[in-house]
Chains A and B, each alone.
Chain A
Amino acid sequence: MSHIPLQHVLIFSTALFFIGMFGMFTRRNLITLLMSVELMLNSVNINLAAFNKYLYPQQTGGLFLALFIIIIAAAEAAIAIAIIINLYRSHHSIDVDDATEMKY
């Protein structure tokens, strides 16, 4: 296990984060956006788990925080999908740029 250094994990999670961010900025589809958010959240989770494991093996704070985020993400996904479904019903589209009623 110790063959994999911390840096590798961090590089992986950073890559994951920026992939999510890239998706956030370039996509207009709400489902894709939701997926990007999930990617970013999970990259943070990996970071938390990795730091916990490598730096403070005796403590469990990082793991719990990661667990907490997973729960939040699940709730968030539920709400987001509900919003998306409603949006689809009213606009027949899930493109973010099509919902402009509240602009100005």
Chain B
Amino acid sequence: MLNVTNILIILFLPFINFLILGLGSRSIKQPVSGTIATVSLLLAAGLSLMIGYQYFIVKGMVNGAFPPIELFRYPWMVFGSKLTIDMSLVLDPLTVMMLVVVTSVSAMVHLFSLGYMKGEERYTTYYAFLGLFTFSMLGLLLAGNLFQIYIFWELVGVSSFLLIGYYFSKPSAVAAAKKAFIVTRFADLGFLIGILILSFYGETLDIATLIQRLTAPAGSQSLAIQTAGWLGISALTWGLAMIFIGGAGKSAMFPLHIWLPDAMEGPTPVSALIHAATMVVAGVYLVARLFPIFQLSACILDLITYTGIFSAFFAAIIACTQTDIKRVLAYSTMSQIGYMMFSLGIARPEDHYLGYMASLFHLFTHAFFKSLLFLGAGAVIHMIHSNEMNKMGGLRKFMPVTHITFLIACLAIAGIFPFAGFFSKEEILLATYHANFPVFVIALCTSGLTAFYMFRLYFSIFWGKHQAHDPHHSEGTFTMKFPLMLLMLCTLVAGFLPFSSWIFQGDTHETSHINWKFSLVPLSLSTLGILIAAYFFRKPSSRVADTLMWMGGIYRISKNKFYIDEIYLWITQRVLFPLVGKPAAWVDKNIIDGTVNGVGNFVGSIYYFIRGMQSGKLQDYLLYFLAGIAAWMVYFIYIWK
């Protein structure tokens, strides 16, 4: 079962979708293309589940750990004698877990899109792009080579660009697509430099070898990278910081998060797949993948911790004030990824890397409930044809399935027992409590805020006053409801999986346990958040407006997302373009090109001078002739010997 053929089938099914549907985007008609793509993705998801079962249950642990299996390796490019980009397929616990998440969420999204995208003009192209994305994401996960990760990292970036810009005639969608690509590209620059630094000292691009070489305490490579440095910071720290910038860009960490809310311009199922469950957690995956190296530098771990907790808190505040339901979800995604990040940052050997396990556990559960939330939001948008909260209300009677599934997902993200989010969040908080108390306090507050803004969303959509909507729109087809129910099931079950015995760092691991005494505080905070949300939003009242009056400026700042977009805009429009681009263009036009033209004009002026002698008067020429003769005579008589 764990052979290369099956992995290749999983990897290339979406790619073949992309090729066939992309090339036949005008000849393959609507239901056919979607069905082909969905069926093949369901097949891939089934296969991944089988592989997960085989890897974790049947094959099991060897000497207390799950051994990585390298299935395939081909030297794709060779640089000199040391560095090689291998195209490889490696299975390890992290990969297998992500494989299951990506294929199953992708399959659900494919299925949901059958109904959601019905009637769209570029339906087939849409499925082609989904195929490209899924392929790239799987390639990223299966990579055993750092550069291979970078390659697929860029490819997921471009598929995200294509999908955000799916409604290409909408200027806001185009702008959002460009923004997403450019911001992540900027971060990728960091990633690339990080790769260059690490591979130069590690003398390899292979991840396993790199980890082994750099973590060997007395190895020549690890000594070299720790002693070399620049500006008083070691090369190791520089390299890791650069790689973290790459991860932070993809995972929308502050201050590189600005692309994520705008990315909601894409079709909603795309947001569910790319901007909630899979691509945005690639940064977390990257840090987890290289965790043994990250662990060598305490200051980078601190950087990760503080970036993560700040992003989590910051995004939660903004999420409370947004009115576009997808943007609320986008900020909540950013906040939850912040959780995963700081949880990785605080993982220490003392508690057997509990934070590491908790972070990935949260990644796992978050993928399900967040894609469920997005698909639910998609169903709502499909019905109302608007993203704005104030156009919604009282929908619980009209869309019962969506209502129930959405409620469960909200409970999960708020961390209420017994839904998936509760378990993973408990682990994170527990790990943080031991490692870093201030971070723990902020995380607790964030957790309360999360419950508040999610239930604000929930109550605004499904409760309150019902507003008239087009009676022709219904809750959607069965293909739209079925993924919701399936994901709800996952949300219910995922928390009870023995996750900690599958994915852990180091030699020993702690078994999952629920410490009820500890859980009391976060649980009650979450409940408080829900109650406050219910107080304000369950029924239309003047309470909201009164409170906003009271909040004043704070509300405005949060509503405008702390003006981060404006700062970026100012930097690009007021600094980069006029102060770098314009002068460069001016220099080129006037100084460099001016020099060339100047040389031309100089030659021209010589010509003007000389042509005056060419008067066309016969006598002038005679005179020159005579002068010439006279000169020669003088020369021959007086000078020439």
Which A positions have Cβ atoms within 8 angstroms of B?
24-26, 33, 96-97, 99-100, 102-104
Contact = CB atoms under 8 A, between A and B. Distances in A.
A24 B621 CA distance: 11
B63 interface: no
Contacts of A96: 617-618
Interface residues of B, number: 9
12 contacts: A24-B622, A25-B619, A25-B622, A96-B617, A96-B618, A97-B616, A100-B616, A102-B616, A103-B614, A104-B611, A104-B614, A104-B616
B169 interface: no
A21 to B, nearest CB: 8
B618 A33 contact: yes
Kindly list the 8 A-B residue pairs having the minimum CB-CB distance in the complex, ordered from nearest: A103-B616, A96-B618, A100-B616, A25-B619, A104-B611, A24-B622, A104-B614, A97-B617
Contacts of A104: 611, 614, 616
Nearest to A104: B611
A33 B617 CA distance: 13
Nearest to B616: A103
B27 interface: no
Nearest to B607: A104
A19 B160 CA distance: 96
B607 to A, nearest CB: 10
Given A25-B623, A97-B616, A103-B615, 5 more contacts: A25-B622, A26-B619, A96-B617, A103-B616, A104-B611
Contacts of B614: 103-104
A24 B619 contact: yes
A99 B614 CA distance: 14
B54 to A, nearest CB: 90
Contacts of B615: 103
A104 B616 CA distance: 8
A103 B620 CA distance: 13
A33 B611 CA distance: 25
A34 to B, nearest CB: 12
Nearest to A25: B619
A61 to B, nearest CB: 23
B418 to A, nearest CB: 98
A25 B614 CA distance: 17
Contacts of A100: 616
Contacts of B619: 24-26
A97 B619 CA distance: 10
B619 to A, nearest CB: 5
Contacts of B622: 24-25
Contacts of A97: 616-618
A33 B616 CA distance: 16
Interface in B452-503: none
A38 to B, nearest CB: 16
Interface string B612-639: 0011111100110000000000000000
Interface in B592-625: 611, 614-619, 622-623
A33 B623 CA distance: 15
Contacts of A26: 619
A7 to B, nearest CB: 22
Nearest to B615: A103
A102 B621 CA distance: 14
Contacts of B617: 96-97
A72 B622 CA distance: 20
Nearest to A101: B616
Contacts of A33: 618
Contacts of B623: 25
B126 to A, nearest CB: 68
A23 to B, nearest CB: 11
B463 to A, nearest CB: 91
A79 to B, nearest CB: 16
A102 B619 CA distance: 16
A99 B615 CA distance: 11
A104 B622 CA distance: 17
A97 B617 CA distance: 6
A96 B616 CA distance: 9
A33 B622 CA distance: 12
A96 B623 CA distance: 15
A103 B619 CA distance: 14
A103 B613 CA distance: 10
Contacts of A103: 614-616
Most chain A CB atoms below 10 A, which of B611, B617, B619: B619
Contacts of B611: 104
A100 B615 CA distance: 9
Contacts of A24: 619, 622
A53 B602 CA distance: 59
Contacts of A102: 616
A104 B607 CA distance: 10
A33 B621 CA distance: 14
B628 to A, nearest CB: 15
A74 to B, nearest CB: 22
B257 to A, nearest CB: 69
